[in-house]
């Protein structure tokens, strides 16, 4: 009973801490009891009221006007479940196993094996101190500190830092769980440190605050992170795994010992614990190192041991700088966010390589002394043939990429259904695993659904076998003296074999019907005992014969032909409109772009087109979140500014095509997909866009945009004049500065 009570206290404290961090990230300054929104300048009743407030559109609109003063981030704590961690490394003290990353640690603590082992542990001393005895270690769940002895525990609980964490859970109101964003944000006249939940009045106080030890600890946790299987420093430098573990040939810089087998040493418990406890230090130039002793440090970038008196010389060495730059470039190349860009670059490089091959073959033919006009014609034929092959290959690659994206979207939308069927989906690694049989599945919708159907069929057969055994037992018990009549037994066996064969045949038929439905874009509804055809939008009986007849029927074929016809119409529309409509790359079309702040936030392009900021950046608002149409991902409102500054977003936006239509602003963001700038919506294919631009809603949106542009013209003209004046002043300043330098030089001579 005591253990369950302490666990509840611990859980409440963890949730309350996360609540405060989440509200701070939304501009709410709070203590354990009181809540105040700095953005809207309103007092809030409790945590639930604050959570509801930050979800309101009015708060979100005001919050987007704030900006970061500096960006920081902290690690998450899993110590309440017996996991000792740093910002990169994770180790379960209960199971004595190393964990890959935060997601792996979260999945590990949810396993029954870990829960069973965790229940064998207990709190040391006063349970209010939240220090748990795990085998030979003592883990403080409040501070995420590992202590070797009971004496060290008594010293630790007397420290001020531990007392602060303990006091934070004494007074609570209603709980709320949210995401964390740690940084110092400028909100009107205040500065809110979301990392420490501290309100600062001036920029000078911010500079003093960020120099404090507590804030420095949180900032240091942001220096190094683990993303997937990579270790990143300052979010841009990819570190080698051996350097992070302190492995130098056959020596470990962290343990200060030699070893025979690197793999064995890296997985030893003592090495992992020392690795987590080791402190990372860095200077103003972002040079990372660890202290080995009073005279030596370990440069993590170069993976070398260097004397402290040679620190400046080493960090200024060309070899160190070149390695640092190489790791930065390696991170850019391996970044998950650049996968689409890498694919595009591969296509471009494929074209360049093919062009080089053509040039070589050209030169071989041209340099031949006895070449003739026939050879020249052969060169032209080779060029034409290879260019056609290249563009066909590029088109196929685009179609395959589009299919993969659609497949991933289907899997993402079905994650909840897969979880109910014990299928674990890892979106980042693109893996699917069955929890029942621990089998790795292909990351494809069809493969996962087939595996679920296979389990369902096996379960039904097993249930039937269990029913059979139970019936046999009941029959035996009914006979006198525990004896069974041979004739009755034989008859019973024959009946069960007959029923079993019928059941298996029925289950096999259902299994085949489900497979057939999945292959033909149909949804098998078990609860309603029917099948829904997505193409025809009708319900069909579940028998395989009915499904086959429907697919072969004229109505289904007509629906399929209608889809193909739309694609053909799109191509024909494109061919017919190519004579009248030109396409211009967005980066060439946009000559100037002016952001208008104030009551109506909008963007003016080329002084003639006025659209909303979201439409300009190809984003839609959905359920209090933003969806980037060009990157095909969802993000929170407060991530808007950071997302539009990302390299891959700007690159994709610039590669869109703008259609030259009078008084319209239409972009083709991908084949068969068009974006209306005035209405900020998508239409596919081109025939659908033509219908849209003739609709009353579109005409109204376009007229409103033109009226807004006319109203803003004086402000635009003033901005242009101010810009020209600034350029002139800058030019005069440069000339004046050059003359001063010339006179100064002549005087000094």
pLDDT in tens, 635-668: 888 888 888 888 888 888 888 889 888 888 999 8
- Residue 564 has what pLDDT? 59
Percentage of the residues of the chain whose pLDDT score is greater than 70: 66
- Residue 675 has what pLDDT? 92
As for how many domains the chain has, the answer is 5
- Residue 478 has what pLDDT? 45
Whether residue 215 is contained in a domain is answered as no
Helix (H, G, I), strand (E, B) or coil at 569: helix
Q: What average pLDDT does this structure show over 393-418?
A: 61
For 327, 331, 389, 397, 436, the CA distances from 334, given in Å and listed in that order, are: 10, 5, 29, 21, 34
Ranges 100-104, 561-565, 617-621, most confident: 617-621
Are residue 439 and residue 320 in the same domain, yes or no? no
Picking from 478, 503, 519, the residue at the C-terminal end of a domain is 519
Which comes out higher in pLDDT, residue 150 or 461? 150
What pLDDT band is residue 402 in, cutting at 50, 70 and 90? low
pLDDT digits (tens, 9 = 90+) for 37-93: 878 888 787 788 888 888 888 887 787 777 654 322 323 357 778 888 887 888 888
What gap in Å lies between CA 14 and CA 438, rounded to an integer? Answer: 32
- Residue 222 has what pLDDT? 63
Question: What rounded mean pLDDT belongs to the chain?
Answer: 72
- Residue 164 has what pLDDT? 76
| Contact call for residues 603 and 594 (beta carbons, < 8 A) | yes
- Residue 69 has what pLDDT? 46
What gap in Å lies between CA 686 and CA 242, rounded to an integer? Answer: 54
Which comes out higher in pLDDT, residue 291 or 203? 291
Which comes out higher in pLDDT, residue 7 or 291? 291
Choose the weakest-confidence range: 23-27, 431-435, 692-696.
23-27
What gap in Å lies between CA 482 and CA 441, rounded to an integer? Answer: 49
Domain extent at residue 379: 337-413
- Residue 377 has what pLDDT? 54
Are residue 342 and residue 324 in the same domain, yes or no? no
Whether residue 123 is contained in a domain is answered as yes
- Residue 9 has what pLDDT? 42
- Residue 652 has what pLDDT? 84
- Residue 679 has what pLDDT? 92
Choose the weakest-confidence range: 393-407, 583-597, 670-684.
393-407
| Contact call for residues 92 and 108 (beta carbons, < 8 A) | yes
- Residue 600 has what pLDDT? 57
Are residue 13 and residue 149 in the same domain, yes or no? yes
Q: What average pLDDT does this structure show over 221-232?
A: 69
Are residue 138 and residue 191 in the same domain, yes or no? yes
Picking from 372, 389, 413, the residue at the C-terminal end of a domain is 413
Which comes out higher in pLDDT, residue 483 or 140? 140
pLDDT at 463 over 70: no
- The token duo for 529 is 């005992």
Are residue 69 and residue 98 in the same domain, yes or no? yes
pLDDT at 183 over 60: no
pLDDT at 485 over 60: no
- Residue 717 has what pLDDT? 82
Percentage of the residues of the chain whose pLDDT score is greater than 90: 1
- Residue 676 has what pLDDT? 93
What gap in Å lies between CA 544 and CA 517, rounded to an integer? Answer: 9
pLDDT at 398 over 70: no
What pLDDT band is residue 573 in, cutting at 50, 70 and 90? low
Are residue 239 and residue 97 in the same domain, yes or no? no
What gap in Å lies between CA 320 and CA 306, rounded to an integer? Answer: 12
Which comes out higher in pLDDT, residue 117 or 405? 117
Q: DSSP E strands: which ranges in 402-536?
A: 423-426, 431-434, 440-441, 522-525, 530-533
Whether residue 212 is contained in a domain is answered as no
Whether residue 557 is contained in a domain is answered as no
Residues 6+ apart with CB under 8 A from 323: 301, 302
pLDDT at 219 over 60: yes
- Residue 386 has what pLDDT? 52
Whether residue 218 is contained in a domain is answered as no
Are residue 238 and residue 182 in the same domain, yes or no? no
Q: What average pLDDT does this structure show over 124-130?
A: 76
Are residue 180 and residue 254 in the same domain, yes or no? no
What gap in Å lies between CA 681 and CA 428, rounded to an integer? Answer: 29
Are residue 86 and residue 22 in the same domain, yes or no? yes
What pLDDT band is residue 491 in, cutting at 50, 70 and 90? low
pLDDT at 98 over 80: yes
Are residue 100 and residue 201 in the same domain, yes or no? yes
* Start-to-end CA span in the chain (Å): 90
pLDDT digits (tens, 9 = 90+) for 229-258: 677 776 667 888 888 888 888 889 888 888
pLDDT at 356 over 80: no
Which comes out higher in pLDDT, residue 522 or 343? 522
**What one-character DSSP code corresponds to residue 182?**
-
- Residue 264 has what pLDDT? 85
- Residue 492 has what pLDDT? 57
| Contact call for residues 92 and 114 (beta carbons, < 8 A) | yes
Residue 582 main-chain phi, psi, to 5 deg: -95, 150
Whether residue 573 is contained in a domain is answered as no
Provide the β-strand partners of residue 297: 291, 306
Whether residue 568 is contained in a domain is answered as no
- Residue 567 has what pLDDT? 52
Whether residue 678 is contained in a domain is answered as yes
CA nearest neighbour of 86 among 305, 290, 292: 290
What pLDDT band is residue 711 in, cutting at 50, 70 and 90? confident
Q: In what order do the strands lie in the sheet with 83-85?
A: 83-85, 90-92, 97-99
Picking from 711, 726, 742, the residue at the C-terminal end of a domain is 711
Which comes out higher in pLDDT, residue 233 or 377? 233
Q: What average pLDDT does this structure show over 490-500?
A: 58
Q: What average pLDDT does this structure show over 103-128?
A: 82
Are residue 358 and residue 456 in the same domain, yes or no? no
Structure pTM? 0.31
- Residue 18 has what pLDDT? 45
Ranges 309-318, 352-361, 419-428, most confident: 309-318
Are residue 110 and residue 33 in the same domain, yes or no? yes
């Amino acid at each position: 009973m005591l253990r369950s009570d302490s666990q509840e206290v611990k859980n409440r404290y963890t949730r309350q801490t996360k609540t405060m961090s989440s509200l701070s990230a939304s501009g709410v300054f709070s203590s354990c009891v009181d809540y105040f929104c700095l953005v809207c300048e309103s007092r809030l009743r409790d945590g639930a009221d604050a959570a509801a407030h930050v979800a309101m559109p009015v708060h979100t609109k005001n919050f987007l006007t704030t900006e970061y003063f500096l960006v920081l981030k902290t690690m998450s704590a899993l110590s309440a479940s017996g996991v000792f961690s740093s910002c990169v490394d994770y180790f379960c003290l209960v199971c004595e196993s190393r964990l890959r990353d935060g997601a792996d640690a979260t999945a590990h603590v949810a396993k029954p094996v870990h829960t069973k082992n965790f229940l064998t542990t207990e709190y040391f001393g006063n349970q209010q101190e939240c220090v748990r005895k795990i085998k030979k270690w003592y883990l403080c769940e409040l501070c995420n500190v590992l202590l070797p002895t009971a004496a060290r525990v008594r010293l630790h609980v007397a420290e001020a830092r531990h007392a602060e964490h303990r006091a934070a859970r004494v007074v609570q109101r209603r709980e709320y769980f949210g995401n964390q964003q740690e940084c110092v944000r400028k909100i009107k006249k205040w500065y809110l440190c979301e990392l420490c939940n501290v309100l600062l009045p001036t920029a000078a106080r911010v500079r003093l605050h960020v120099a404090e030890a507590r804030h420095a600890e949180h900032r240091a946790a942001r220096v190094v992170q683990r993303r997937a299987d990579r270790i990143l420093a300052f979010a841009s430098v990819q570190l080698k795994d051996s350097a992070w573990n302190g492995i130098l040939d056959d020596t470990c810089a962290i343990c200060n010992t030699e070893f025979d087998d690197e793999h064995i040493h890296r997985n030893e418990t003592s090495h992992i614990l020392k690795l987590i406890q080791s402190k990372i230090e860095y200077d103003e130039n972002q040079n990372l190192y660890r202290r080995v002793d009073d005279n030596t440090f370990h440069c993590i970038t170069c993976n070398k041991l260097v004397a402290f008196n040679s620190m400046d010389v080493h960090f200024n060495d060309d070899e160190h700088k070149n390695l640092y730059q190489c790791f930065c470039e390696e991170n850019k190349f391996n970044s998950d966010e650049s996968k689409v860009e890498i694919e595009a670059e591969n296509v471009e490089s494929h074209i360049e390589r093919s062009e080089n091959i053509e040039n070589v073959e050209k030169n071989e033919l041209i340099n031949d002394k006895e070449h003739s006009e026939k050879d020249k014609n052969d060169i032209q034929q080779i060029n034409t043939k290879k260019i056609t092959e290249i563009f066909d290959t590029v088109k196929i690659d685009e179609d395959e990429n589009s299919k993969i994206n659609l497949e991933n979207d289907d899997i993402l939308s079905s994650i909840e259904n897969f979880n109910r069927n014990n299928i674990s989906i890892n979106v980042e690694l693109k893996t699917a695993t069955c929890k029942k049989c621990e089998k790795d599945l292909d990351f494809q919708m069809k493969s996962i659904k087939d595996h679920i159907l296979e389990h369902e069929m096996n379960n039904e057969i097993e249930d039937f076998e269990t029913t059979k055994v139970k019936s046999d037992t009941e029959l035996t018990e009914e006979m006198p003296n525990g004896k069974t009549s041979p004739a009755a037994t034989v008859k019973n066996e024959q009946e069960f074999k007959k029923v079993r064969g019928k059941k298996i045949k029925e289950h096999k038929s259902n299994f085949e019907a489900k497979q057939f439905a999945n292959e033909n874009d149909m949804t098998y509804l078990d609860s309603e005992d029917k099948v829904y055809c997505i193409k025809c939008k009708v319900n069909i009986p579940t028998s395989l014969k009915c499904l086959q007849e429907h697919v072969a029927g004229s109505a289904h074929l007509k629906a399929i032909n209608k889809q193909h016809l739309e694609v053909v119409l799109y191509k024909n529309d494109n061919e017919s409109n190519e004579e009248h409509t030109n396409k211009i790359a967005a980066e060439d079309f946009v000559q100037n772009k002016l952001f208008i702040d104030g009551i109506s936030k909008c963007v003016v392009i080329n002084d003639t087109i006025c659209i909303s900021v979201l439409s300009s950046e190809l984003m839609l608002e959905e359920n209090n979140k933003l969806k980037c149409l060009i990157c095909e991902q969802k993000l929170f409102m407060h991530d808007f500014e950071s997302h539009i500054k990302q390299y891959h977003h700007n690159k994709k936006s610039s590669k869109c095509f703008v259609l030259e239509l009078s008084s319209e602003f239409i972009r083709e963001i991908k084949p068969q997909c068009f974006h209306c700038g005035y209405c900020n919506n998508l239409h596919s294919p081109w025939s659908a866009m033509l219908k849209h631009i003739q609709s009353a809603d579109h005409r109204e949106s376009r007229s409103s945009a033109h009226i807004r542009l006319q109203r803003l013209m004086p402000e635009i003209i003033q901005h242009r004049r101010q810009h020209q004046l600034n350029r002139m002043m800058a030019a005069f300043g440069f000339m004046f500065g050059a003359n001063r330098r010339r006179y100064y030089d002549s005087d000094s001579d």
